Amino acid sequence: MKLSNRLNNVKPSMTLAITSRAASMKAEGIDIVSFGAGEPDFDTPPSVVDAAKCALDKGMTRYTPVPGMPVLRAAIADWYTREFGIDTTSDHVIVGVGGKQVIYNALMALVDVGDRVLIPAPYWVSYPAMAYLAGGEPVYVRTTEKTSFLMTPQALEEALEENHPKVLILNSPSNPTGQVYEESLLRDLAEVLRRHPNVMIIWDNIYAHITYGDVKHVDFAKVAPDLAERIITTCGFSKSFAMTGWRLGFAIADPRIIKAMSSIQGHSTSNATSFAQAGAIEALKLDHSYLENNRQRFEKRRGILIDALAKIPDVSLVEPKGAFYALVNVKKYCHTIIDDRIITNDLELAEYLLVDGHVACIPGCAFGAEGYLRLSFAMSEEAIAEGVRRIAVALSKLKRVEGVEPHVFWD
């Protein structure tokens, strides 16, 4: 059997794979603390669940229009206008089966075979895979801790001049780094993009309501309204509303792009689940205090994680400004030995932590960040403290390999 060539560069999601393996070990009776998948541990708000149940009781089990129920599209447009100050109508909205699908639809609508997709690294694991599946070629802009893992205007200019991409993907707040593109930097990036009018921008702000301290999320189209026709904003209900299993995402874009994305979706999933859409309508009615309460809970957990990690020798991180991830620098543990086993990279280190330390972390290589581990703190405070304790104990058992040059990472 020969599978399609498009799968040559597409690997299974390491995030989901490690999370699944951790779950399997738990099922075997092994006590595992998992910093793996980015999934809030809060329950979906009861009013949202009740709305979906009511929809089922009323027989809402049939197809809806492909881009979503008109009432939901209108509700999203109104909500987005209120939240981010951008005049939006239902014609600018499509509802898909999760934020992942709307990004995939956008790439399918924009990318031809051989087109380049510019992606700052570290990046969410699915961006490159989706670019390949659309027939494109991902091209990476390396960022470093010195710039808080944020792409600078100079780096963007150089990448655009060298690669002439069709699409740029920006994610803020970021998975896996937790960093945020604030207004001043977005203005500078917009100035660069004005000089490259053929580049479309996918602006992934699925974590828009999860920022910390004085940092506030600013929508790219708000900062650069003249670029609005080139910006496809992707978002969803999974993270902020604790609705991961509901699989509901949406995009805000020029109606011509929405129509193209709808055509693609019409030949894949068709509409998102009807009664889930009813729940989403109710979610958009929630008082803003619900989102703020969740944000505060994540912020407290972030503090616990940062304080605990600070006590581990030779481990560091750039403090996350948003989302619920920390990208932890473990390069000094990526050429170590325990007994007769040598650990040479972050993938092997994550394997060691899972098997020997009973703590699941995602290796940075999955995100284009060798020498790092991604830790999600969407978990209880007690689990965070216990998980970091296990990491500290496991790392303390590793010894440096003498007389061997350590792995060289990009900086």
- The pTM score is 0.94
Asked if the model's pLDDT at residue 405 lies above 70, the reply is: no
Residue 386: pLDDT over 60 = yes
CA distance 283 to 342: 49
> How many Cβ atoms are within 10 Å of 7's Cβ, its own excluded?
11
Long-range pairs of 20-24 with CB within 8 A, sequence gap ≥ 24: 21/354, 21/360, 22/354, 22/360
Strand partners, 167: 117, 200
- Is residue 394 predicted with pLDDT exceeding 70? yes
Residue 220 near residue 234 (C-beta atoms within 8 A): no
411: pLDDT strictly greater than 70: no
- For position 15, what pLDDT does the model report? 76
pLDDT band at 407 (very low <50, low <70, confident <90, very high): low
List, for residues 20-31, the tens digit of each pLDDT value.
Answer: 888 888 889 999
Partners of residue 235 on adjacent β-strands: 250
Q: Determine the Cα–Cα distance for residues 294 and 240; give it in Å rounded to an integer.
A: 8
CATH of 46-286, one of 3.40.640.10, 2.130.10.10, 3.40.50.300, 3.40.50.800: 3.40.640.10
Where do the CATH 3.90.1150.10 domains begin and end in the chain? 5-43+289-398
pLDDT tens digits, one per residue of 297-349: 999 999 999 999 999 999 999 999 999 999 999 999 999 999 988 999 999 99
Tens digits of per-residue pLDDT, 138-196? 999 999 999 999 999 999 999 999 999 999 999 999 999 999 999 999 999 999 999 99
Q: What is the pLDDT of residue 58?
A: 97
Reported confidence tier of residue 291, pLDDT bands at 50, 70, 90 = very high
- Average pLDDT over every residue of 212-221: 95
pLDDT over 60 at 72, yes or no? yes
Domain with CATH 3.40.640.10 in the chain: 46-286
Residue 148: its pLDDT value, please?
Answer: 97
pLDDT at 272 over 60: yes
Mean pLDDT score, 205-223: 96
C-alpha to C-alpha distances, 109 to 64, 200, 294, 316, nearest whole angstrom: 22, 11, 34, 40
- For residue 294, pLDDT over 90 is answered with yes
- pLDDT tens for each residue of 31-42: 999 998 789 999
C-alpha neighbours within 13 Å on the C-beta side of residue 348 = 14
pLDDT above 70 covers what percent of the chain? Answer: 98
**Range scoring the smallest mean pLDDT among 284-293, 334-343, 399-408:** 399-408
The pLDDT, as a whole number, for residue 23 is 83
- Specify the fold of 5-43+289-398: Aspartate Aminotransferase, domain 1 (3.90.1150)
The rounded distance, in Å, linking the Cα atoms of 233 and 103 is 9
What does pLDDT average to over the chain? 94
